[in-house]
């Protein structure tokens, strides 16, 4: 129910289960708690989603640990973790962009009306969450809620990086961490959407190598036994038009990028320009200036007449809609390591098992928690 100012009020006594943390720390800080049902938001541009599934990402571990608190501060504790969601519209926006019962998915970003800190109802690892309508897209009919929830962060990140890199048909591309969430999306997009002529990635031998080949990689380098810079630095013919770094190896990429090529990284410390773009505060910007953000990776790339950039994920309904079309057409597909039960407290099969698996770094694709 909405009042005259379109701000939602709290349904008397209504609560929900959440998974969150009350202080920064290790994964053991995560707890299942009871919290108030979402309220106090502007109903004109927000919807309440009954969460059917939510996916875990490496950034969730960084947020939990406090590593990102300078850039992404959390609201009053307990804070609901995770931001990738698929579910059903429980309460529609007052402007009528979405309808009750509609199947949707989203990446939960805050908006300017939230203030400087993200409120509790923006977290997806809960029975209900609130999504700004500018970040919500209709769920692909051919996918389950669990499959759909795995897409937002990794899909949009891979798509935005490849667009920013200028990758075009026939180009060669090196993607590190091919069996990870972003890597699995990047391989598929590079090969089947951008039509890259040569897609090379890094992954361990066995299941992960086979997965990458199945997704479209032309060659997989076993990073445990071989350094890619030693394989591809010998001749210009073996070097790459584009290098996409998901593992913090953009310095080494300067040895294998072609003259005039592009390196884009999502790992390590952001650049000053990227912090400005996402609205970093003045004192954070000053800190990064002192650390000389135009660092050795940038200088190494420039010495080889290549471009080097860092990219943060940006909210984009257009990109999420584009991914939905690719998923519906079969150009790309979700890659799930497994699905765990939100309601179970079992250390392996329940929600804790999902976080343990995702945070271990051994997952092939995404770890998803199922609520319904």
Domains of the chain: 15-150+334-370 (3.90.180.10), 153-310 (3.40.50.720)
Residue 93 contacts residue 8 (beta carbons within 8 Å): no
56-81 pLDDT per residue, tens: 999 899 889 988 777 667 766 888 99
Mean pLDDT of 202-208: 96
Judge whether 129 and 122 are in contact, CB under 8 Å.
yes
Tell me what the pLDDT averaged over the chain comes to: 89
pLDDT at 4: 43
Quick one: CA torsion of 88, 83, 350, 77, rounded to 10 degrees?
Answer: -110
Return the pLDDT at 116. 52
Lowest average pLDDT, out of 11-25, 85-99, 183-197, 236-250, goes to: 11-25
Q: Minimum mean pLDDT among 32-36, 120-124, 214-218, 280-284: which range?
A: 280-284
Instruction: State residue 25 phi and psi, 5-degree precision.
Output: 165, -150
d(CA 107, CA 159): 14
Banded pLDDT at 293 (limits 50, 70, 90): very low
Cβ contact 146:370 at 8 Å:
yes
pLDDT at position 290 = 44
Percent of all residues in the chain with a pLDDT value above 70, rounded to a whole number:
85
Cα 201-203-209 angle, rounded to 5 deg? 95
When pLDDT is cut at 50, 70 and 90, the band that residue 273 belongs to is low
pTM here is 0.90
pLDDT classification of 12: cutoffs 50, 70, 90: low
As beta bridge partners, residue 320 has none
264 pLDDT higher than 50: yes
Q: What is the pLDDT of residue 287?
A: 47
pLDDT score at 114: 56
- CA-based Rg of the chain, rounded to a whole angstrom? 21
pLDDT by residue (tens digit) across 219-250?
999 999 999 999 998 888 999 999 999 999 99
- What is the model's pLDDT at position 109? 81
Burial class (CB in 10 A: 0-12, 13-18, 19+), 115: exposed
> What confidence category does residue 306 fall into, taking pLDDT thresholds of 50, 70 and 90?
very high
Q: What is the pLDDT of residue 121?
A: 81
The answer for residues whose C-beta is within 8 angstroms of residue 180's C-beta and 6 or more apart is 246, 363, 365
User: What are the structure tokens assigned to 40, written together?
Assistant: 């106090």
Per-residue tokens: 139: 């769920």
Rounded Cα distance between 104 and 89, Å, is 7
The strand pairing partners of 1, in sequence order, are none
Q: Please state which of the ranges 57-71, 176-190, 326-340 shows the lowest mean pLDDT.
A: 57-71
What are φ and ψ of residue 3, in 5° steps? -85, -175
Taking 90 as the threshold, does the pLDDT of residue 160 lie above it?
Answer: yes
């Amino acid at each position: 129910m909405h009042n005259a100012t379109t701000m939602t009020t709290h349904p008397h006594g209504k609560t929900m289960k959440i998974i969150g943390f009350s202080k920064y720390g290790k994964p053991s800080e995560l707890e299942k708690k009871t919290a108030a049902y979402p309220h106090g938001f502007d109903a004109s541009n927000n919807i309440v989603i009954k969460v059917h599934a939510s996916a875990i990402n490496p950034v969730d571990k960084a947020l939990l640990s406090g590593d990102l608190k300078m850039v992404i501060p959390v609201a009053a504790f307990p804070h609901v973790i995770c931001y990738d969601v698929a579910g059903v519209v429980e309460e529609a926006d007052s402007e009528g962009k979405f309808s009750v019962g509609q199947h949707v998915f989203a990446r939960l970003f805050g908006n300017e009306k939230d203030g400087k800190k993200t409120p509790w109802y923006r977290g997806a690892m809960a029975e209900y969450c609130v999504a700004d309508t500018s970040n919500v897209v209709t769920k692909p009919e051919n996918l389950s809620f669990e499959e759909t929830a795995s897409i937002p962060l990794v899909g949009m990140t891979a798509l935005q990086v490849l667009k920013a890199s200028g990758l075009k048909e026939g180009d060669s591309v090196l993607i590190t961490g091919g069996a990870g969430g972003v890597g699995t999306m990047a391989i598929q997009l590079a090969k089947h959407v951008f039509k890259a002529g040569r897609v090379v990635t890094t992954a361990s031998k066995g299941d992960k190598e086979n997965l990458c080949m199945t997704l479209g990689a032309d060659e997989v380098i076993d990073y445990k036994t071989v350094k890619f810079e030693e394989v591809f630095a010998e001749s210009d013919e073996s070097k790459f038009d584009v290098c996409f770094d998901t593992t913090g190896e953009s310095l080494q990429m300067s040895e294998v990028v072609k003259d005039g090529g592009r390196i884009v990284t999502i790992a390590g410390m952001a650049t000053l320009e990227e912090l400005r773009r996402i609205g970093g505060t003045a004192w954070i910007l000053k800190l990064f200036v002192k650390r000389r953000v135009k660092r050795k990776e940038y200088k190494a790339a420039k010495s080889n007449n290549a471009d080097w950039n860092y990219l943060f994920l940006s909210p984009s309904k257009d990109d999420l809609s584009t991914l939905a079309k690719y998923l519906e057409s079969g150009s790309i597909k979700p890659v799930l390591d497994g699905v765990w039960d939100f309601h179970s407290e079992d250390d392996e099969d329940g929600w804790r098992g999902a976080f343990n698996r995702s945070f271990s770094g051994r997952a092939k694709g995404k770890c998803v928690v199922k609520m319904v």
